[in-house]
Structure 1
Amino acid sequence: MKRIKIDRSKCIGCLTCVSACMVSHNSSESRNRVVISSEMKFSPIFCRNCDLPECVYTCMSGAMRKNLETGYVTYNKKKCASCYMCIMACPYGVLKEDKETKQEIMKCDMCTDLSEGPQCVIKCPMAAITLEEVESR
């Protein structure tokens, strides 16, 4: 399965990954962000598609699911009860409310609807964000 990997030593904080996410989803918000660490280094933050995803375990409606084939955590807005338990459960703080709809969750979907793949990976000018094959556990 493929996962987004970050090389923080290459990130210059240009926010191209954030812009690419917004453009690819035709949204005024991105599903990722860049923060500054305590060592004053830029750190892109993405959904980690956890092996044991707390967002899935706390989702009472089944809107959050782990796809065992791809390893990605998927979100089905039609099933979402807007309880935001997934947001509260995420240990990385990457899930958030869609401020436009106020009824959906914004979560990285790995740009699965685009044949090129994740736009944050493709557009990163420093190659700080890559898509790599990892072993499933």
Structure 2
Amino acid sequence: MQVSKRQFLKGVGALLAGVSVYGATRTPQANSLLQPEKESELKYAMVHDENACIGCNACVQACREVNHIPEDVTRVKIERKGPFGEYPDQSYRFSRVSCQHCEAAPCVRVCPTGAAYIDKETGIVAVNSDRCVGCQYCIAACPYQVRYIHPETRTADKCDFCQQSRLAQGLQPACVEACPTKALTFGNLKDPESDLVKLLKTRPSYRAKVDLGTRPKLFHIQTIDGEIML
């Protein structure tokens, strides 16, 4: 069936009119999508002073009790290395191993359900257990090997800076409060007046595996002479 030029132009006009109306009704939403989200004023991080740490594991136990972590898994552990030197001038070195709360978290990128995510308000790398299917992709992707499958919930778990248990109440993470030597400092990287930022400005620090581009937010003040002399 042939269409006359007049009919064709009439049809195109109606189509363009419809597009214009649609565009007009969609403009406010489209503009809102183009507007950048307000950036949060929080970016939580932690510093572990290896010179102050004595390897007592008070932080490990406090985390276990507050967050109800079963005995055969852990959100945080303190690795002991040594002894260094010769008796009687020997020392040990202690390092914290836990979630780094990476700004470019590999675990988040590989999660197929969105269970692993970065909280926009705090920068904390968190886990939505309701969405976790226990596929263990995040465990395989984490270069720090700090995730595990919770033996009771069968979902991925790790340190979340006590986001659900203590931060929600305006309290410091359990490990920070429990440390007898104040080896842990927790705070907001975006607050220049926070104890954490002041500490990072005055003491040399390092972060693990920064060459991977993960941008971790767990800082370490490196051991100088060791903590325990035998």
TM-score, scaled relative to structure 1: 0.90
* Partner Cα distance (1:51, 1:123) in 2: 27
* Partner Cα distance (1:42, 1:99) in 2: 28
Mapped pair 1:130 → 2:181: no
User: Given that residues 16 and 124 in structure 1 are in contact (C-alpha distance below 8 angstroms), is that contact kept between their aligned partners in structure 2?
Assistant: yes
Other structure's SS at 2:69 match: coil
* Partner Cα distance (2:177, 2:150) in 1: 24
74-83 or 21-30: which moved more? 21-30
83-92 or 109-118: which moved more? 109-118
* Partner Cα distance (2:45, 2:61) in 1: 20
Mapped pair 1:110 → 2:161: yes
Amino acid at match of 1:21: C
- Once the two structures are TM-superposed, the CA of residue 81 in structure 1 deviates from its matched residue by 1.4
CA offset digits 1:76-95 (Å, max 9, x no partner): 01111111011111111111
The CA RMSD measured in Å over matched residues stands at 1.9
Partner of 1:11: 53
User: Given that residues 19 and 30 in structure 1 are in contact (C-alpha distance below 8 angstroms), is that contact kept between their aligned partners in structure 2?
Assistant: no
Equivalent of 2:116 in 61, 64, 73? 64
Higher relative contact order (CA 8 A, sep 6+): 1
Question: What are the within-5 Å matches in structure 2 for residues 24-63 of structure 1?
Answer: 24-28=66-70, 29-37=73-81, 40-63=92-115
CA offset digits 1:26-74 (Å, max 9, x no partner): 2224311111247641111121110100010011111000112211111
Gaps of 5+ in 2: 1-42, 85-91, 191-214, 216-230
Amino acid at match of 1:99: P
Question: What are the within-5 Å matches in structure 2 for residues 82-93 of structure 1?
Answer: 82-93=134-145
Identity of counterpart residues, as a percentage? 35
User: Given that residues 77 and 105 in structure 1 are in contact (C-alpha distance below 8 angstroms), is that contact kept between their aligned partners in structure 2?
Assistant: yes
Amino acid at match of 2:162: C
Amino acid at match of 1:107: K
TM-score, scaled relative to structure 2: 0.55
| Larger-Rg structure | 2
* Number of residue equivalences: 136
Gaps of 5+ in 1: none
Other structure's SS at 2:63 match: helix
Other structure's SS at 1:41 match: strand
User: Given that residues 55 and 87 in structure 1 are in contact (C-alpha distance below 8 angstroms), is that contact kept between their aligned partners in structure 2?
Assistant: yes
